[in-house]
Structure 1
């Protein structure tokens, strides 16, 4: 099963029909507790159980559970993806166990999808939440965070505390596995995003050498079907040595067609050299719009610690 996904929004919705949660800067996982064993799966259904041995203790809580949540690692008291990256890359259990003391993780549980063999996904959020709270899951390495009625207040508080943002959920919403739903809406404070590069355009100029200089890159974010959704064109920040180094890497990954699942606007596609989506870069932007487009993005650098596969797994939080 793949987790339900939220749509981007500019502000939390108002009214009693909605409830609001903190958006954590971590890795989205489903945790299956059954028959005395725990299996942890990423957003892309990759088995990451070995990376998080702290969660083994959930096998002693109940006989049959399926939990939705987010694994976070703390740095100076705040969730930090950079702190989590060291744990995410681990595939051997012994290595993960050595990291537990110095870089522990916590599972923030925000949904209950199965209980004692009963599928709860067709139940409204309010029913699933009540059952989750009745389980009283509060251990050293897992926690059920509070929910809030006032989304605007929570948005201000999370900004002051340096947290990632807010996820708002309709109380009557059922759980739709693997689908992005307007019944869940996310508002992020962060102004930086990790994106894959899917193409590049030369610098626009009068000299012949301008064709050999990087003018912009076309970037994407994970879509809901295992592909990449076009997120916009990034030109700012590519001048000088940064652009030269990036173009050198992109030239070795050229391909004939666009790697994006959706259609790239003609104004952006014109003159573009397409590349394999193998390189993750960091950009700063004014905001991510509701249709997942970066507004006025600026290139910051290559993410050497993050592969496209890992980006797909961590991009969706709550």
Structure 2
């Protein structure tokens, strides 16, 4: 099952029909507990349990429950704020030993905000208020699992998250049911800086050096891959080295049918197969459709280009 998704808000809703939560800068996960066995799934239904040994440990307490399905955002906290770059290292892990080592140096927390099944009975058809009451009645809190509070004043919460350097807020209708896999207007997200997922289609070296300096990004659309610009900010040092190692085996001789690439960006570009999805932060798009002031966040090991194409197709159907 895929989780319900929020729609970008034009404005923070302010009526009593809404409640508001902090939008944590992490990665979405469904935590599925059956017969005291814990499994963790990404938003694309990939089993990522091995990457998060914290959640299956006795100390986390989740295995004490017989049957639950929880919706959560998994984060790595650093100095009181989520660190997406630290979390990105965790999502790529498929080796249990490495996962245990990272759990000691960059432990995760599951910010649980919804319950979808209780004792074998789905509760997604119930209202947000009813599900929230159920969630708060279940004692799942531990060092690695928490249920963050909800707020009635979305505008004040949005201002507070800006002051604290947190991504933004999610506003939810209290009478809304849970719609798996749907991007719904019943959930609205308000963010201070936009975040997007794009496909890496090429890279360029640093000027006068052989090291990776920036990557070229494209957005999957119903018409194919549309160029959205280059990002180099945030790729210095080890991040750039690690990314270059991932891209080298994907090298190809020509542009992988990306439209709208300017000559100056294509010059000296090392093209790659469009196989890796990455997240960037940016301040909107320019009139030419380019990312404004983008900065690197990390590779999305939980997403594939096909997922972005599927999202683009569904959004076109909704128009």
Gaps of 5+ in 1: 201-215, 239-244, 259-263
The answer to whether the 8 Å contact 2:29/2:42 transfers is yes
The answer to whether the 8 Å contact 2:278/2:300 transfers is no
The answer to whether the 8 Å contact 2:46/2:302 transfers is no
Aligned-residue Cα RMSD (Å) equals 4.0
Alpha-carbon distance between aligned partners in 2 of 1:282 and 1:43, rounded to the nearest angstrom: 15
* Secondary structure of the corresponding residue to residue 84 of structure 1: helix
The answer to whether the 8 Å contact 2:161/2:168 transfers is yes
* Secondary structure of the corresponding residue to residue 54 of structure 2: helix
* Secondary structure of the corresponding residue to residue 101 of structure 1: helix
> Structure 2 vs 1, CA of residues 298 and 254 (structure 1 numbering), >3 Å: closer, same or farther?
farther
2:102 to 93, 99, 104: 99
Alignment of 1:1-318 (within 5 A): 1-56=1-56, 57-191=60-194, 193-197=196-200, 219-220=218-219, 233-234=228-229, 252=252, 254=254, 276-280=273-277, 285-287=282-284, 297-298=292-293, 300=295, 306-307=299-300, 309-310=302-303
* Secondary structure of the corresponding residue to residue 156 of structure 1: helix
CA-to-aligned-CA distance 1:219-260 (integer Å, 9 cap, x gap): 227x9xxx999776337989xxxxxx9xx98982757756xx
> Structure 2 vs 1, CA of residues 161 and 299 (structure 1 numbering), >3 Å: closer, same or farther?
closer
> Structure 2 vs 1, CA of residues 288 and 140 (structure 1 numbering), >3 Å: closer, same or farther?
farther
Alpha-carbon distance between aligned partners in 2 of 1:101 and 1:284, rounded to the nearest angstrom: 28
The answer to whether the 8 Å contact 1:286/1:294 transfers is no
Q: CA shift at 1:59, angstroms?
A: 3.7
The answer to whether the 8 Å contact 1:4/1:181 transfers is yes
Q: Tell me: higher relative CO, structure 1 or 2? Use CA pairs within 8 A at least 6 residues apart.
A: 1
Counterpart of 2:316? Answer: none
> Structure 2 vs 1, CA of residues 113 and 100 (structure 1 numbering), >3 Å: closer, same or farther?
same
CA-to-aligned-CA distance 1:119-146 (integer Å, 9 cap, x gap): 1011111100000001122111100000
Q: TM-score under structure 2 normalisation? A: 0.72
Alpha-carbon distance between aligned partners in 1 of 2:97 and 2:251, rounded to the nearest angstrom: 39
* Secondary structure of the corresponding residue to residue 163 of structure 1: coil
The answer to whether the 8 Å contact 1:113/1:121 transfers is yes
> Structure 2 vs 1, CA of residues 218 and 296 (structure 1 numbering), >3 Å: closer, same or farther?
closer
Alpha-carbon distance between aligned partners in 2 of 1:101 and 1:236, rounded to the nearest angstrom: 31
Aligned length: 276
Q: CA shift at 1:22, angstroms?
A: 0.4
Alpha-carbon distance between aligned partners in 1 of 2:139 and 2:282, rounded to the nearest angstrom: 40
Alpha-carbon distance between aligned partners in 2 of 1:79 and 1:299, rounded to the nearest angstrom: 19
Moved more, 91-100 or 101-110: 91-100
